[in-house]
């Protein structure tokens, strides 16, 4: 029992001995904190909250879609020699996606070229022999015509002598007449031979030339098919699916890969029929993505599909926005959820702030309003949550605890904390006039809603 009391007294003694040390450390820390200078107010630029008539906006849910999607098939039949891509790969237009075995088609091309060479040689032979045959036939015609003329003149002289009874018998006259008739028949035969031999030869040359042209077309067809054994990307994009593998046998028309474009990207929004009459191509829209809450995108309506979904009675509205590629790829990806604000109602008065005044990335968009802290008298930036409406040029409609003419921070707001002291610089207001001075001490702070 006595030992227990001694241990308790020892613990209490050690506690009270440590109290002065803790107190001294606390005082030293407080003194050091008091000696540390306060942070300098942040320099910011501001613009005024303005009010004017804008069309009332409504937010619709949309989807990020590729502007082009292609399921690429094989134009030939054969075995896949090499599939060069995987799903998720980025490829450029003209890049090889897959190669099909080409040994058979190359043998067919070699055979077709050999046949073409044979046809060309036959045509050359016909063209070479035709002039000689023509000269030979023409000479035969000329010879038989000369014999015919000689026999005819001899017959005329013999008939004249026989009529006068001078040195020509009836038998000699008949012989001369038969020779003349034979010469005439020979001339006719030579002329007929010329017509029958040489004209068909011309036709044969034309036929041979046609065979050459046909074989050239056959070679061109096979070479075109050879190009199809290399399957290339038709445009820049991402491979989203593979439908075959190395060594697989594919038939003509079977799927190889699926390719989608990424720049530009398309936003598709389903708009109910009661709002569709207010929309036109070219109208501006603002959109945010759940995947990137710190960014605000601008777009224009590119087209309105005039066919509604019969179940939801909504029309597809399409917007196209740039989506350039950087070191990490494309920011916008197919399938992302988008929230698009469109002007679908009659114009009414609304509060607008410059888009640069928005601070995104938190639970809700907010703007920083310049107010006077009634306790310290300092100029501070109060955070005011807002809801976004329709975009109007460089400004955007906001719904929140704002008043006409208040100053909102447009530069330097990305590094501010709520109620942080600030120094307002000179910057042009959204209406084109310089920013007025910060509110007086009579102004009441704007509390976030």
At 113 the pLDDT is: 92
**CB atoms closer than 10 angstroms to residue 300:** 12
Give the sheet arrangement for strand 78-83, strand by strand.
Answer: 230-232, 96-100, 78-83, 249-250
β partners of residue 318: 268, 303
Which residue in the block uniquely carries the two structure tokens 């032979």? 125
> Which parts of 195-242 are beta strand (E)?
230-232, 237-242
Between the alpha carbon of residue 65 and those of residues 208, 230, 242, 261, 284, the distances in Å are: 57, 28, 19, 9, 19
Alpha-carbon gap, residue 353 to 386, rounded angstroms: 11
pLDDT in tens, the chain (449 residues): 434 433 434 433 443 444 344 333 433 443 444 444 556 888 888 998 998 887 777 889 999 999 889 999 998 888 999 999 998 899 999 999 999 998 888 899 999 999 999 989 888 887 776 666 676 777 777 888 888 788 888 778 777 777 777 766 777 777 877 888 888 888 777 777 766 665 556 677 788 889 999 999 999 998 888 888 899 999 999 999 999 999 999 999 899 999 999 888 999 999 999 888 888 898 888 888 888 888 888 888 999 999 998 898 999 999 999 888 888 788 888 889 998 988 887 778 888 999 888 988 778 889 999 998 888 888 888 999 998 888 877 888 888 889 888 899 999 888 888 888 988 886 444 444 444 444 433 333 333 33
pTM of the model: 0.55
At 179 the pLDDT is: 82
At 425 the pLDDT is: 84
β partners of residue 446: none
Alpha-carbon gap, residue 177 to 195, rounded angstroms: 27
At 201 the pLDDT is: 66
The residues, ordered by sequence, that sit 6+ positions from 415 with a Cβ below 8 Å of its Cβ are 42
- Go through 76-92 and write b for each residue having 16 or more CB atoms within 10 A of its CB, e for each that does not: bebebeebebeeebebe
Contact in structure between 268 and 334 (CB atoms under 8 Å) = no
At 167 the pLDDT is: 63
The residues, ordered by sequence, that sit 6+ positions from 269 with a Cβ below 8 Å of its Cβ are 60, 61, 62, 63, 316, 317, 318, 319, 338, 340, 342
Q: What are phi and psi of 281, to 5 degrees?
A: -60, 140
Tokens (6 digits) for 368: 């920083």
Which residue in the block uniquely carries the two structure tokens 């190669």? 99
At 443 the pLDDT is: 36
Alpha-carbon gap, residue 346 to 337, rounded angstroms: 27
Alpha-carbon gap, residue 59 to 388, rounded angstroms: 9
Q: Are strands 50-66 and 337-354 parallel, antiparallel or unpaired?
A: antiparallel
Contact in structure between 88 and 238 (CB atoms under 8 Å) = yes
At 245 the pLDDT is: 92
């Amino acid at each position: 029992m006595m030992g227990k009391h001694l241990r308790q007294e020892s613990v209490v003694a050690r506690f009270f001995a440590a109290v002065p040390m803790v107190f001294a450390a606390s005082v030293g820390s407080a003194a050091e904190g008091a000696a540390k200078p306060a942070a300098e107010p942040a320099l910011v630029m501001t613009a005024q909250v303005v009010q004017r008539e804008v069309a009332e906006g409504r937010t619709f849910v949309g989807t990020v879609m590729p502007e082009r999607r292609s399921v690429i098939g094989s134009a030939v039949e054969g075995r896949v020699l090499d599939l060069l891509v995987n799903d998720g790969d980025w490829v450029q237009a003209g890049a090889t996606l897959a190669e099909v075995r080409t040994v058979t088609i190359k043998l067919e091309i070699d055979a077709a070229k050999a046949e073409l060479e044979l046809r060309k040689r036959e045509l050359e032979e016909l063209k070479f022999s035709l002039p000689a045959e023509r000269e030979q036939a023409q000479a035969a015609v000329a010879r038989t015509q000369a014999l015919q003329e000689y026999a005819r003149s001899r017959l005329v002289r013999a008939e004249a002598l026989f009529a006068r009874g001078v040195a020509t018998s009836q038998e000699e006259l008949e012989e001369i007449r038969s020779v003349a008739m034979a010469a005439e028949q020979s001339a006719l035969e030579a002329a007929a031979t010329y017509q029958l031999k040489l004209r068909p030869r011309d036709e044969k040359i034309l036929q041979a030339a046609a065979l050459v042209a046909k074989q050239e077309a056959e070679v061109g067809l096979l070479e075109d098919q050879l190009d199809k054994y290399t399957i290339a990307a038709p445009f820049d994009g991402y491979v989203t699916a593979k439908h075959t593998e190395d060594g697989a046998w594919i038939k003509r028309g079977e799927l190889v890969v699926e390719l989608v474009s990424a720049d530009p990207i398309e936003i598709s929004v389903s708009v109910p029929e009661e709002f569709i009459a207010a929309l036109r191509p070219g109208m501006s829209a603002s959109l945010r993505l759940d995947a990137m809450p710190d960014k605000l995108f601008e777009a224009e309506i590119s087209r309105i599909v005039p066919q509604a979904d019969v179940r939801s009675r909504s029309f597809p509205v399409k917007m196209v926005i740039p989506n350039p590629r950087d070191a990490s790829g494309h920011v916008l990806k197919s399938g992302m959820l988008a929230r698009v604000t469109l002007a679908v109602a009659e114009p009414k008065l609304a509060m607008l702030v410059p888009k640069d005044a928005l601070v995104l990335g938190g639970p809700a968009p907010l703007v920083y309003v310049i107010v006077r802290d009634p306790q310290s008298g300092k100029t501070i930036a109060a955070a005011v949550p807002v809801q976004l409406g329709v975009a109007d040029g460089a400004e955007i409609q906001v719904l929140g605890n704002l008043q006409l003419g208040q100053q909102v921070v447009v530069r330097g707001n990305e590094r501010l904390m709520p109620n942080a002291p600030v120094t307002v610089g000179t910057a042009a207001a959204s209406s084109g006039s310089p920013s007025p001075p910060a509110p007086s001490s009579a102004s009441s702070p704007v509390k976030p809603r």
